[in-house]
Structure 1
Amino acid sequence: GRPGSGKSSILRHVALQFVEQNENEDYDIIPVVIEPSNMLQYYNESRNQVFILDDFCGKDKVNNQLLDVWKLDIEKVLNIINQNDSVEHDLFFMEVRKPKTKIFISCNSSVYSSKLFKPLKTHFENFVFELSKVPMTQEERERMMKKYAPDAQVEDLKYDNSQIKFDFPLLCKLSKGKYMNDIQQLFSDPLTTIKADLKKLKTGDNLQFCAVALCTLLNNKFKVQWLNINNETNDIQVRNAVRELCLEFNLDLTNSTDLKRIQNRFGEEMNWLSESDDTFHHIHDEIFNIAAVLCGKSYQRCFINHANSSFIVKQFNFCEEHTDGLINLIAKNRKLYFDRLFKDLENGITYSMFQNIQLKTKSYREAFIEYCHKRNLKFKEILGNLKTTAEEDNPTSKVSKEKKDKHFLPRQNTFVVSEPPLIDCALQGYEDMVDLLLRMNCDVNERDISGRSALFVASAKGHIKTVERLVKNKNEKKEENIENEEYKTNEVNIDLSNNIKRTSLHVACKEGHYDIAKYLIQNGADIFVCDANGYSPLHLASVYGSKEIVELLLDTYKDRGKEIEIEKNDNLGQTPIILASSKGEEQTVKLLLHYKAKISATDKKGFTSLLAASLNGYSNTAKVLIDNKANICHTDNDGRTALFIACEKGHRKIVKMLIERNKEIIKKCDWHHKSPFYIACAEGKFTIANMLFEGGADINCLDEDEKSPIYAASQRGHEKIVRFLLEKNAKIDKTDSHQNLPLHIACKGGFLEIVKLLHIHQHCLSIKNQWNDTAIDIARKQGHQDIVDYLNQQENKLNSANTEITPVVKSNS
């Protein structure tokens, strides 16, 4: 269920009810289970036990660390559960029932539906109860509301669960102590009401608001033990953050009285926080977001200095205009904010600087660039150290997760994999940031873990200005850099490839960025280079339908006297025109034909362009190829024609087109002597089978195993096809190479309706296959009792009829 839906309360209630209802079995409840080790630690094979797993694998989002642990040990846990109700024998061979183990789990909907959770989902999906699918009744709502607000009337409340982010139980809890008008406002506009309530809390309950602020600063996870700042086992970053924020509330944690006051407040009931496994959280992620803005605005310097980097990236707003959901940075704190970004970068955390949401604003980038120029030498030093550290960890990856994690406060179950700074900025298309980093001597040819350079990602994303700046870097001769040899030699390698040998020109052609492709070619990019799959830029442009780029490349081929490159094969032997045909790129195919591409070219499977278009049902492309004299009788390495393939896949337009051009193709069989008509029947393509029949197809043609079309249709359960073939007088007494009739094979497949159709036309049930089995024998062996009963009934009717018509023979006396 969603946050605030009452999962935890329901979980505990159900567990208590279960134990009460099974009182005679004396169950123990184990309420605190975080990971498998807890369960394995408390598991007692001699006791009946109920384990409680609340907020499984994360409270609001997937906790990757917990998820990994559960994936490793889930089988051990399931083995314990699967021993339920098993029986053993003691020394005297008396039956002894083994103790039972039950597990009750609650899980956030966002965690359960996450792609990351999928490996575990298969173990639980048969036991899931989704609260959203069983909404509370009116009576249940009234009873719940009376608990928190006895005078409130549920019918007066405007509540639409589909439109509101907060579930009814949570809103009831927040209604406690409110007047009816305030409750109505809470239910109709919870966000506005919660904002107002938190502002009142700040002035009305200073200690509870301090608790809220601490939980917010520590990214929705706070442990009371962190208040003890003299405890050296606590992380120094956490200790500093907690001490500084408490001072904002006039709480000196070195003073035992102040320490006791805030500790006691965490021990009392609080409306806004909940405790789970000795950790406090906001009761809802939306409330966390509201608190983040309110606390971040009120204690801005503390949050800038100590909030984790993901908070810094997403929560602040540099513009003077107010933006809902963001903390507006006051002017005097802007330098402090940039200082924090530099501090993160020194610690190997790049994303707070280069994936910051504020980079979208030009005024922010201008201010940041100005700051960086003022700290020119320091910025170069940090960037240089960052690259060196990354190379020591891994030549192709950035600073390791472990090294990063120790430098910032606990994050909310996320980890952002950062690109090298120059690649990050090029990817986002920030030309001014790219220019800044190049002036700071960032390596223009540095690659990420996938082997992508800044030029590669800018080309892929279509950022032409960024591409131009990167390529022009070799021509920059700024006066201040004349003595800097590193700067002068920092020239872009325009043909640098990624891990699959794909270049910037490749991806520009693939993504259809004509201006970038043209610019790269003009600046010397290799137009003939192939990637690991054997794709040239022309192959990719043809596959993805970039007609303008195809024409650009073909004209360049012509200018360089390399027209033959139009027939270049990839690793599978496919030419550009075969690839374009396989994707239905009609205009590209026309263009390639105009430039004299061979329409008869084949790949390693023997496929031509026409077969490729027919396979995927591109009738317009197929028509272009046929109109340009494509050989419609050509067969691939398995002897299949375009017609055969179109029949198999059910592409009626192409079938009709091919038959109209040449009816003789109907008779052409594949390597296994299957005809187009046979394959249409086998695949259940009724309309196509009828078209072929009208075109003169032989309805009794046999394949190499002596199977007929009606045999194939019976085997696959295509009742409509069988009925059609019977109407056209198809032979049903022809057996395959194992002496199986169509009736036999229908019995084997369990197709009762087909058995009925065939039996009407073939009353004899005594015919046996090579294994001496009749139709009834086959149905019985396959467990199709309905067919056995039907055939026995028909056989009995037939025997009765024969008895009735048998003449009485008298002997001569």
Structure 2
Amino acid sequence: MSFELFMECERLNFTGLDLLNIDIKLRIKNAFKELSEFKTLHEELTKEWEIQQEKKTNPIPPNLRVKIEKQLKGWREDDNNYFVSTKGSKAVFESIKEQPCVAVTGSFGMGKTAIIKNVALLMRSNGYIVVPVTDPLEIKKYKHPIEKNLFVVKNFCGKCDLEEEELEAWNNCGVEFDENCKLLVTCKLQVYRAIRHETLNNITFHECNLISNDICLSLNERQSIARKYDINILDIVDSIEFYNCFPLLCKYFTDSNINDAKTFFKHPFEVFETQFEMLQTLGANGKVCALMALLMFYDHIPKTMITGDTKWNVKYIIANTSKICKLGTEDSCITIHKELENLIDTYVVKKEGVYHALNERIFNLLLDYFGNQMTGPLISYSCTSFIRERFQLSDPIKNKEDYNMFRYVGSDQKGIKVYSSTTWDKVGPNAVILTDVEYRKLYVDRMLKDLSNGYVNDVFQNPNRFHVFFFEYLNHRDGIELLQLLKKTDITDGSTPMIAHCRGTTYVHSSDEKLNDIFLRWLIDNGCPINVGNVQGETAIFHAAVSNNSRMIETLINHKGDTNICTTEGYSPLHVACLYGYSQIANILLISGANCHTITTKGNTPLHAACCNGHTFIVTELLQRGADLSISNNNGHTPLDLARLNEHYDIFQNIMIYSNTK
């Protein structure tokens, strides 16, 4: 036994039990204290070792890690304040958990960026290192060799158009994406569609298209987003489903402190103006040209128009559109077609092979922007229907005197002022108002050019024909030139200016009646033919009857208008009045000598028409004028048969009584 052990045993023999227990407890306590100190030291040394190891293995520099942390903190704050979980965000999260590469696509302002930020934060909670990058080379540089990585990219391969150099950089990045290295990107839909036609090495995206029916924003989700931004749902009920970029509109409305939600959401020009300017600034000439083409062809571009053997006037419009948009005229049709396809669901919709603006409001926003940016080219080169519908020579509210034509139609009317209270009491639906004199001259020149080229309907159904500026131009033509213009017939249906003016003209206020009657008399006084029909044989009186315009019919009859000229199918103006039950028109025509025995190619007389449609008063008047009850149509039916078959028993009884009294 050693001396130390012997001495310890001797000490214990002489130590009391209590003192021994106290000594043992003290020693145990000190041992635990020492153990705790050793444990703390071990943890510190382990942490320091891990830091040193991380410095060796984590390729992201410490200063950049601090920057990323700050960036992710900002994401989290935005996420907490404004983010609304949707079908789209849930689909993206589920996709990135299963797929190495996910592209969140859609048009601008749909919340693509907000979704990938939210999903990135969720993936971070699942153990991924989240690294926002802008350059594909950064992925290879910052990829952690051991930990799981999620690289986040905004506007993959371009903001509004495919950037070929960026696509090439991604092809050369040399990174294999897998379970431990994932890629989550946002990509404008038009860019993504362009990418699909290119080669993308080592990257196969799973697309989450936020416009697709399965994950697009529902009405409830849109309402939830609006509430997040403290927007009253009742103020935007008419606009909440019109725009794909609804999340951006809500953000812009709040950030800009706009007060009138109803007006802003109905026509959010400021937001779209920024997008249109971006297209022009970034040189996306093909897309600008495609959008301009929607205006030039008045929201109607059949695919065959730009891919097939096009007519000269279509080629003329396309060539000039390409020129003003700084797009080469060679193969411009192919470029416009490609860009229209790429812009589907962003600005464009394709229905039955025809391209249109996504909806009427998008078209009006395009008109507001490009109508002011490119007013001259639109006047000079757009189709005639666009010229007719979407320009006003001046504001009728501010310039009512511009619509006073009386000083041009005869000395007996001088000094009288009138303007149309229905056609011109307000600015037309998103019309471009031409306040500049040069644009007015250009516009009137275009109207006269269209008239010379045979677009009679488009000129004489154009509300601007009532404007004094147009009348000044017409009245400055010499008599022969003016007569030649007024004898023009439409290249489509052969209508004369008289027919075009009478077609669809109805009166709501007395000022309408005066204005249209004055114009009609001006046409008559200057030699425009009254009794010339179009290719269907329809005359001005026929169309006045269709419009139920008794004043116009009286004017035409008083100037030797023939009431008995029939269409190629045998319909007279009296047939029209009998079909629609226009009793006043029927009375005027019969008093003026209209033939009640005319027969259509189907064998129907005016009496057949009135009996078939149940117009009792007109039937009585026709019978009093000697209409023949015995005539059978091609189906073998007399007027009495048609009254019975269509259950017009009052007419049936009246005819029976009339027959018995003869």
Interval containing the TM-score (normalised by the shorter chain): 0.3 to 0.5
Report the TM-score when normalising by structure 2: 0.48
Report the TM-score when normalising by structure 1: 0.40
RCO higher in 1 or 2 (8 Å CA, sep ≥ 6)?
2
- Computing the radius of gyration from Cα coordinates, the structure with the larger value is 2
